[in-house]
Chain A
């Protein structure tokens, strides 16, 4: 299982990366953490003619707070983000999701933005970004644009990213006060891709739910979220029964597929159970102010 040959490019500046992307386009692949790309290349399922290794570009591994959002540069590794105090305090849902992403060894190389750009519908981070109404900033020689998560993920391993563009940053609105979040997933083994995962956030106003988000992995060809389901929670008094009802409705609203890991029916049932559990957990956290 050795990769096919490719031209190796090692730009030192973002502008150089962008120039290369303009030149190479679809024949090139950006190599950041490589934890999804390299297995595909070793299986020869991916055979890019050019590999643009961005790991030697400086200044892209930041994690900082800016205008009420956590900004994560495209070379910030998942392991660092998981340990990052800023992320744990201001975007605990990202930290909760990251704990399920692969293993220590893969998180030490894998990047947050790389996982978003890879857009595996079973992956934790895309659904989490969607739940948090985050966005992705992409750059090309033509300039930068910020794409909301809702528009960024298009289908299986496919995003709004153009052939000459790279993800340079992701931006995640910080979790507001009086809110809680939860990431719950069901995987066959610890660290595996989940069959279904649920990312939720909930904002409370006294005993009523002021806002709620629910995004799922593994139930569509991209991370799934539907405002209509969330709206059933908003303005309501939180209760175990309410969550069970909404989770049940969600089970009816999704249209998952079947594969060797799980049938559509099982995914639907997991989605319902996990959503209920996630909502309860987010609610409990919101009540204690986490």
Chain B
């Protein structure tokens, strides 16, 4: 039977449903039939663990079970953990330990952990890591999750001692628990796929199966007749449609962007060719094989290092060398430096960055109300305002009738900041059919159609003297931009990040951005910086090796010193401003990290262990990160007539904790209790202009906008209160939401009462006419230029010489992002960033064959690091406030990822130093490492023989 009745108990409640589709997964049944949307779907092939529920008390994957198989079973979901809205002890512990960020994978972890806690307590860290190894998280780096579970079990938590932050302010600098967490921990967070409308249609995108081909014919007639199919759309049906705009234009970048649906050619596997609109996703997928597409398959261009050669297939016929953009910058006299240097080293270094892999895939739901003509869009994205602006460029719609909302977003990491074909197609379909249309990317699509940041090949030469000082650097690199252009941001950032924390007077830096028949490239957490750090820090270690000097000492000798700020690097940064380091303390971060890891002791242990055949290694990676780009971000702060303080900003959250950190800023600058502040991010209706969350920019831009708006609002409130209380505003103070006369605290007015007065302006209230109505203030903050965070990471590893296996054993971070608003959140950003970086060092690689097919498009073959792979991390904050913005803060969102791959790769080299193994390509797989070891052993024995 294709349909079957099912009777089961869910969260203690008996449920009986007739005619359940046999193929409906238990996950889809719980989510869309029962409305229990706390259970999330992340991969649908049983690896990520987000869909974990308990069946008769045991955790199971609800994506790998049919709903009808739950007949007679007791199912518990995250909604069942919460007892009458009270968080259970485990959930409270998650909140306390900051064990969640975007919250998407959290229900899965809770369900696994809850079952584990019933099995045995107390638990050790090792037991917990193993037990949650079947749950993937992209945000937290696992450490806080593990600690939360261990503590709930009564076990011993190895939590680091929290540093106290001396601050006159009340909330800024404090480890404030997150405002987001109660909702996310009880499964009440609403993500795009949690929203359903009656009669809603479901879209499925039919994608190119070839990397380069001409489309000769598309026949949709069979597919259109399939059960439940409403329509099948191809390019022809879209009418006068334009190609997608560039994300960020540049004079050296031609706008070769894609159409929402392929016109007559496809340029990567995964490019949208047709859209099936059907009554359900299941039915839409059924019709996909019925869409007939005749292709003339052409040879593609896959490898950047071959792309420039004559006769190579062209990705765009208009670009005869496959070069999509270029840049050359220099300072000083490089040739002279190289002529004078004691030493010159040349290296070729290759980096692959991998994909986004937020556990929530992309998704978009568009609802069109045809009578009034309002279009509302919910998108899993990093900036709803940018999507709205782009849509208004592409569609003729009255601006005020288009609203874009980023609801809860399950991780972003860069690629969700892009404007994709689906971002146009789904709203277009909704308008076309006058209804709601939903498209949720599945994990297979995520591998082929979500943007990735990927390959760079660097040819680099460094000139240095016997004292270890670098005097010149030449670097030329190729950047794989994929099939279409979006911007030159990634390679430009790489170029400008190369010099890092070092004083290098003579620089010659150049790149070419190269088209290939692969999905379009775009920023992924770190955005070009991990590649630059890999190049520079690898050189630092090679210099140390050449001079037989300690790697830490080489770095010390080259650092920009504390008294040298502002330090001008001599080139332009990606905001087109001269690259100038505003502040920092590079030596302090290095010394702190060395102290944390116990550098001298490690060296002793390393020597002793080496004698026993155990190979330990240590890797140091320092970095400077330009953060807090413009153009601007807004903050609108308002006292509601309900007495709540509302903060609106366009900087949507993907789990970073904006609602908490921005709320802390508002609370301090306005003079109210943090608990009374509600931060609304990601709604184009809440604030007219916005940019979004990327490039570690939110605290700098939105943070300062909100600080200033809160300060202005405070002044306005005091002015109004002075009017009301008939006194001078200098005599008033605003504390905890009340304005009172200093020294006579009973003479007061609450902000709530004042908000009523300010909005109503009833006659008799002698309001100063120069004051605008309403108790609100809005500030758009535009940073003059970016501010620079910095830090040093140190990793230790053990390398198994026989298998090439690398175990990361210890990991320390000394980090300076200026004023820390909430150290708990910054720790969380760093933990998750480091985990991502470890993935880039050892695990994550998108592998293409020569025809451009992705060979590892599932989590069985693409390895995301889990709780067993990511080590414990220790983080120390060094605060050097920037003079560039009033808060003194710098970005912290990517600093965890940027040096992490390099700290690991250099630790590997250090473990194999006697063999002089060079890790010149990351990620380095065990096989690649085993080969490098074997090659070097052969060479060494050859020399001996």
Contacts and interface: CB of A to CB of B under 8 A. Distances in A.
| Among all A-B residue pairs, the 5 with the closest Cβ atoms | A103-B134, A8-B22, A190-B868, A39-B45, A38-B64
Interface in A1-42: 1-10, 31, 34-35, 38-39, 42
B442 interface: yes
A260 B802 contact: no
A119 B657 CA distance: 46
B913 interface: no
B117 to A, nearest CB: 13
14 contacts: A8-B4, A10-B68, A39-B46, A53-B68, A103-B134, A109-B61, A188-B843, A188-B863, A189-B843, A191-B134, A192-B863, A193-B860, A260-B856, A273-B802
B334 interface: no
A42 B866 contact: no
A106 B858 contact: no
Contacts of B112: 104-105
Given A6-B23, A260-B855, A39 B2 contact: no
A51 interface: yes
A237 B765 CA distance: 103
Contacts of B1: 7-9
Interface of B: 1-2, 4, 22-23, 25, 28, 44-46, 49, 52, 55, 58-61, 63-66, 68-69, 71, 112, 115-116, 130-131, 133-134, 281-282, 285-286, 442-444, 802-803, 805, 843, 847, 855-856, 858, 860-861, 863, 865-866, 868-869, 925-927, 930-931
Given A42-B64, A190-B130, A260-B847, 13 more contacts: A5-B2, A6-B22, A9-B1, A39-B46, A51-B22, A104-B59, A104-B112, A109-B65, A186-B803, A186-B805, A262-B927, A266-B930, A269-B802
A178 interface: no
A270 interface: yes
Contacts of A5: 2, 22-23, 282, 286
A56 B61 contact: no
B865 A1 contact: no
B64 A189 contact: no
Contacts of B925: 188
Contacts, number: 144
A2 B445 CA distance: 13
Contacts of B28: 2
A104 B868 contact: no
B444 A1 contact: yes
B61 A105 contact: yes
Nearest to A277: B802
Contact of A263 (B55, B282, B855, B927): B927
B46 A106 contact: yes
A102 interface: yes
Interface string A54-70: 01100000000000000
Contacts of A274: 803
A190 B64 contact: no
Nearest to B64: A38
Given A1-B44, A3-B23, A260-B847, A10 B4 contact: yes
A255 to B, nearest CB: 18
Contacts of A53: 66, 68-69
A88 interface: no
B927 to A, nearest CB: 4
Nearest to B927: A266
Interface string A86-110: 0000000000000000111110110
B65 A108 contact: no
A10 B49 CA distance: 27
B582 to A, nearest CB: 40
Specify which of A103, A262, A269 lies most central, judged by the most chain B CB atoms within 10 Å of its CB.
Answer: A103
A105 B866 contact: no
Nearest to B805: A186
A270 B803 contact: yes
A79 interface: yes
A2 B28 CA distance: 10
Contact of B59 (A7, A105, A186, A261): A105
Contacts of A156: none
B68 A8 contact: yes
Specify which of B46, B858, B868 lies most central, judged by the most chain A CB atoms within 10 Å of its CB.
Answer: B46
Tier of interface size on chain A: 35 or more
A260 to B, nearest CB: 5
A106 B4 contact: no
A192 B64 contact: no
Contacts of A42: 25, 44-45, 63-64
B58 A106 contact: no
B60 A109 contact: yes
Interface in A240-290: 260-263, 266, 269-270, 273-274
A53 B72 CA distance: 14
A209 to B, nearest CB: 24
A189 B63 contact: no
B360 to A, nearest CB: 15
Nearest to B108: A105
B282 A2 contact: yes
B438 to A, nearest CB: 14
Contacts of A9: 1
A108 B58 contact: yes
Contacts of A102: 134
A38 B68 CA distance: 14
A186 B444 CA distance: 26
Contacts of B868: 189-191
B20 to A, nearest CB: 10
Contacts of B286: 4-5
B282 A105 contact: no
A191 B866 contact: yes
Given A4-B23, A6-B23, A105 B134 contact: yes
A95 to B, nearest CB: 15
Interface in A128-161: none
A183 B91 CA distance: 37
A34 B46 CA distance: 10
Given A1-B442, A8-B22, A38 B46 contact: yes
A8 B855 contact: no
A8 B930 contact: no
Contacts of A55: 69
A187 B925 CA distance: 11
A186 B926 CA distance: 10
A156 B131 CA distance: 30
Interface string A188-214: 111111000000000000000000000
A103 B49 contact: yes
B65 A38 contact: yes
Contacts of B46: 35, 38-39, 106
A103 B443 CA distance: 20
Given A10-B4, A105-B112, A189-B869, A34 B65 contact: yes
A9 B2 CA distance: 9
B865 A189 contact: yes
A6 B444 CA distance: 22
Contacts of B49: 103, 105
Contacts of A262: 927
A260 B849 CA distance: 10
Given A1-B444, A2-B282, A109-B64, A8 B2 contact: yes
Nearest to A102: B134
Given A104-B131, A188-B843, A35 B23 contact: no
B60 A108 contact: yes
A190 B927 contact: no
Contacts of A104: 59, 112, 115-116, 131, 134
Given A53-B69, A56-B71, A105-B61, A190 B133 contact: yes
A1 B861 contact: no
Contacts of A188: 843, 863, 925-926
A4 B287 CA distance: 10
